[in-house]
Amino acid sequence: MDPSIQSDAPTLGPEAAAPGERVKILVADDEANIRRVLETRLAMQGHAVQVAENGAEALELFRGFEPDVVVLDVMMPELDGFAVVERIRAQSEVPIILLTALGDVADRITGLQLGADDYMVKPFSPKELEARIRCVLRRSGGGTANGNGGTVGRNNHVVVVGDLSVDFNRRQAHRGEERIRLTGMEFNLLELLISRSGEPISRLDMLEKVWGYKPERSSDSRVVDVHISRLRAKLEEDPDNPELILTARGMGYMFQRIHQPAEAAGV
């Protein structure tokens, strides 16, 4: 068994893809054993899987395969995972999970800043990776759970703050007439913040609500910090002095209080 993979038995559960609804997953890693294990396990769950052994091959496959989720190793020949993330993000908002053996947290954060949705540190459990894949797929296309266990953004309404409008039904954000490109995870985080506007939300709460797991190490909360930074860069007129997404010191973050929900409107 490759030391980068923690042994656990493959499981076939109710969340396996139904016939005709196969999820397409692209796995890129220069370690043959990791590719073989993940391809076998994911295929057993009913997914369509393609694998690449370097970054250049991953990009070539990406264009033709059009995957629903991408799993990328950081340290690959020809093009590393960071370069692949950057090029994918220039054309697509597909969910991306990074696999990294890098010990420096700053290097992991780099991948998130470039646009990855999540990361896992090697050695990793394939079972946990499968759970993360299910989570990013579910979160990238559906509503975000609110504090009462329901969903927000399913009432065909638009929230307007200044020249920023957020359409929950179409899962789109606009500033004036210009659409703001958000990944599925970014939109879900924004959706959660707006649904609880004026209320501080802890990083732990955001990680559980949006990413679907509890942090195992303190650095896991940086996933939230980086996504907040990315949202501010896209939504705020001055990201260094945010007026929409505020820092609740010692607690987490909150969206500015929305006093009167806007009427539904076309965007």
> How many other β-carbons are positioned within 10 Å of the β-carbon of residue 111?
27
Q: Using one digit for the tens of pLDDT, what is the confidence trace for 182-208?
A: 999 999 999 999 999 999 999 999 999
Q: How far apart are the first and last CA of the chain?
A: 53
pLDDT band at 140 (very low <50, low <70, confident <90, very high): low
- Residue-wise pLDDT for 99-139, tens only, equals 987 667 777 889 999 999 999 888 888 999 999 998 888 76
Phi-psi region of 252 (alpha: psi -120 to 50; beta: other; left: phi over 0): left
Position 246 scores a pLDDT of 97
Give the residue carrying structure tokens 């991953």: 58
- pLDDT at residue 4, rounded to an integer: 56
The closest alpha carbon to 137, from 94, 170, 88, belongs to: 94
Domain 158-255 indexed as CATH 1.10.10.10 = yes
* Domain residue extents for the chain: 24-141, 158-255
Percent residues over pLDDT 90 in the chain: 62
The fraction of the chain above a pLDDT of 70, given in percent, is 80
Instruction: Let me know if 66 is exposed, middle or buried by CB neighbors in 10 A (0-12, 13-18, 19+).
Output: exposed
Contacts of 215 (CB under 8 A, 6+ apart): 204, 207, 221
Please count the other Cβ atoms lying within 10 Å of the Cβ belonging to residue 167: 19
Choose the CATH number for 24-141 among 2.60.40.10, 3.40.50.2300, 2.60.15.10, 3.40.50.300: 3.40.50.2300
